[in-house]
Amino acid sequence: MKKSIAVLLLGLVAAAALIAAPIKVGLVTDVGGIDDKSFNQGTWEGIKLFAKENKLKEGVDVKYLQSTADADYIPNLSTFADEKLDLIVAPGFLFEEAMKTVADQYPKQKLLIIDSVVQKPNVASAVFAANEGSFLAGVAAGLKAKADGKDTIGYVGGMKFPLIENFQAGFEQGVKTVLPNAKILVDYSGSFTDAGLGQALAAKQYNAGAYIIYQVAGGCGNGVIKEAKERSAKGDIRWAIGVDKDQYADGIYAPGKSAILTSMMKRVDVASHDVAVMVRDGKFPGGQTLVFDLKSKGVGLPATNPNLSAAIIKEVEKYTALITSGKLKVNSVQ
């Protein structure tokens, strides 16, 4: 009897130890680095929140490796896989091929790719309903233009493929919903890094009458913001709409004045945090594609929008409710 009790106690202790074992999560950044104010930084913030909630130690239980070149992706992912971390996270479509390779080499390793899809049984893919958030940005742009007596709005995308065209589809629908006669100018730069080209395209659209430009072009889009700032600083007020994160600060051209009307945010922090929770709870969605939409608060406009009037914000909230309830279907190219 005593022996049975002892065995039982040992089993309970072992089970408790297993439950108490900290979840270890690793992030591999792309070449932008951990403080890029975009995907890498946002993804890391989600992991840090998970660490705080679960009393995990940064640098021990949750940590990151920075990539300085594309060639670092596979070695960095493999380093964490060799350490047998519970989850390895990589943000951005640039990791697609590296993730496929590492997923095959380490079939038992749990992996998460953000903003892309890798169809492997040990990879969870997190994507965003960018069309839904872009619809709201379009509503804001259309209403702002209407209020100021303008009718021309622009869109500058980076490389032209379905992921980026989804932003355009939702944005145009949002604009047309509130400003049916709007003229929408569209250009694709073919680049996510050439800020000079972005500025040139913005200048072209502003010269053609665009009052607001929605940029979905990464570093290239910084040129769009620069052009809006320079014109606004000279008294020719023009607006840009940020993407992926709240870019209000990037648009400041004078004290208390920013050329950023609003931003369409992708909550990569929500994706990394939520999948880490799933791993902790034994519910890792391997082989699945998770869509972070308005309803899950995976996309949307910033909590504060200094350049949007209360009336515009109220309308944005109305359309948010229509979309999340399923009463309004947002256009998509996929």
Tens digits of residue pLDDT in 53-109: 999 999 999 999 999 999 999 999 999 999 999 999 999 888 999 999 999 999 999
pLDDT score at 219: 84
State pTM to two decimals: 0.83
**Cβ neighbours for 31, distance < 8 A, ≥ 6 positions apart:** 67, 68, 69, 70
Tokens 């893919």 locate to: 125
pLDDT at 3 over 90: no
Strands 111-114 and 87-91: parallel
**Cβ neighbours for 208, distance < 8 A, ≥ 6 positions apart:** 152, 185
Q: Which tens digits make up the pLDDT trace of 19-42?
A: 457 999 999 998 888 887 778 888
**Cβ neighbours for 193, distance < 8 A, ≥ 6 positions apart:** 218, 219, 220
Q: Which residues pair with 65 in a beta bridge?
A: 28
pLDDT at 18 over 50: no
3-state secondary structure of 200: helix
What is the four-CA torsion angle of 103, 35, 263, 111, rounded to 10 degrees? 10
| Full set of structural domains in the chain with CATH | 22-128+269-292 (3.40.50.2300), 130-266+303-324 (3.40.50.2300)
pLDDT at 155 over 70: yes
Nearest to 78 by CA among 90, 68, 69, 61: 90
Q: Which tens digits make up the pLDDT trace of 282-330?
A: 999 999 999 999 998 999 999 999 999 999 999 999 999 999 999 999 9
Q: Which tens digits make up the pLDDT trace of 231-284?
A: 999 999 999 999 988 999 999 999 999 999 999 999 999 999 999 999 999 999
pLDDT score at 110: 98
> What is the average per-residue pLDDT within 102-131?
97
Q: Which tens digits make up the pLDDT trace of 209-227?
A: 999 999 999 889 999 999 9
pLDDT score at 199: 98
pLDDT score at 163: 86
- For the chain, the average pLDDT equals 92
CA 326 – CA 329 distance, rounded (Å): 7
pLDDT score at 39: 83
pLDDT score at 20: 57
